[in-house]
């Protein structure tokens, strides 16, 4: 499908401005509404009571929003703002908020991503890095795959001298159910090229642990 159906126009604010309610999306909403109506019944609720009347539709829209990364193309996003530039030091974008959902329980995991690359003749518009994180985060994921997908996309599209990605997240499937550990944080990392060398990796890790103020 085209990007126009998942644009950032604020006109159709039912989806926080991301998803246009065209025929394709309306069909998906209608189908999910039926499913969530059934979910409400199965958990022992009354889908007919006042507070729940619009809930199947709200959840359907929320779910499409939370997984809208399937409709986006990360390579296109990077290529749309790739500029020739003679800069060959590390570029680091840190503390990028991540909101994703684990593919096992469809419960949120959330935290921060830190992304770095060393340009090889081209830089990319800075905002495109968090956009790429979102393209892969807004899907059903495991944190390890999310980390690798961000690394691979940047490496393949920009062909830099190296890429480093570190992600730190809390998983609600580990805190509000299951093993019920409230404070555990999972850290994953993925590197290419120059970042496979200890010196570069250490520089990156030092930069993402430093505070601005
Ligand atoms: N590697 C990895 N595992 C994850 C991620 N998100 C959730 N999980 C794990 O996926 C596993 C699924 O294991 P199962 O034993 O099939 O599921 P479960 O019975 O619900 O497991 P518990 O959570 O231990 O109750 C669990 O250990 C989760 O903690 C992730 O991003 N990466
Ligand atoms: Zn889970």
Per-residue pLDDT of the chain (213 residues; tens, 9 = 90+): 444 445 444 444 455 556 788 999 999 999 999 999 999 999 999 999 999 999 999 999 999 999 999 999 999 999 999 999 999 999 999 999 999 999 999 999 999 999 999 999 999 999 999 999 999 999 999 999 999 999 999 999 999 999 999 999 999 999 999 999 999 999 999 999 999 999 999 999 999 997 654
Domains detected in the chain: 3-70 (1.10.286.10), 73-209 (3.30.1130.10)
Pocket-testing residue among 103, 104, 105, 179, ligand 1, by greatest number of atoms within 8 A of Cβ: 104
**Helix 55-66 vs helix 23-42: crossing angle, to nearest 10:** 120
pLDDT of residue 15: 59
101 lines ligand 1 (CB under 6 A): no
Residue 104 Cα to ligand 1 middle (Å): 6
**What is the value of pTM for the model shown?**
0.91
Q: Give the ligand 1 atom nearest the CA of 141.
A: 31
Residues 6+ apart with CB under 8 A from 48: none
**Whose alpha carbon is nearest atom 16 of ligand 1?**
104
pLDDT of residue 20: 82
SS3 89: coil
Q: Is 196 exposed, middle or buried (0-12, 13-18, 19+ CB in 10 A)?
A: exposed
Q: How far apart are CA 134 and CA 118, in angstroms?
A: 21
pLDDT of residue 156: 98
pLDDT of residue 210: 76
Give the other-Cβ count within 10 Å of 71's Cβ. Answer: 19
ipTM above 0.85, yes or no: yes
Which residues are marked as active site? 102-105, 143, 171, 173
Token pair 């093993």 in the structure block, residue:
179
Phi, psi of 99 (to 5 degrees): -125, 115
Residue 169 Cα to ligand 1 middle (Å): 14
**Whose alpha carbon is nearest atom 11 of ligand 1?**
104
């Amino acid at each position: 499908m085209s990007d126009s159906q998942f644009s950032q126009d604020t006109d159709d604010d039912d989806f926080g401005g991301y998803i246009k309610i065209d025929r394709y999306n309306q069909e998906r909403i209608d189908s999910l509404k039926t499913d969530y109506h059934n979910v409400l019944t199965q958990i022992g609720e009354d889908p007919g009571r006042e507070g729940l009347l619009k809930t199947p539709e709200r959840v359907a829209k929320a779910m499409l929003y939370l997984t809208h990364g399937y409709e986006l193309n990360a390579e296109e996003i990077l290529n749309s703002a790739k500029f020739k530039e003679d800069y060959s030091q590390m570029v680091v974008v840190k503390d990028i908020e991540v909101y994703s959902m684990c593919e096992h329980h469809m419960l949120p995991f959330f935290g921060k991503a830190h992304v770095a690359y060393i340009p090889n003749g081209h830089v990319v518009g800075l905002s495109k890095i968090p956009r790429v994180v979102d393209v892969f985060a807004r899907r059903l994921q495991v944190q390890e795959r999310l980390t690798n997908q961000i690394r691979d996309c940047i490496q393949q599209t920009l062909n830099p001298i190296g890429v480093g990605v570190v992600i730190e997240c809390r998983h609600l499937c580990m805190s509000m159910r299951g093993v019920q550990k409230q404070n555990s944080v999972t850290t994953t990392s993925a590197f290419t090229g120059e970042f496979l060398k200890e010196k570069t990796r250490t520089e990156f890790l030092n930069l993402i642990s430093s505070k601005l103020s």
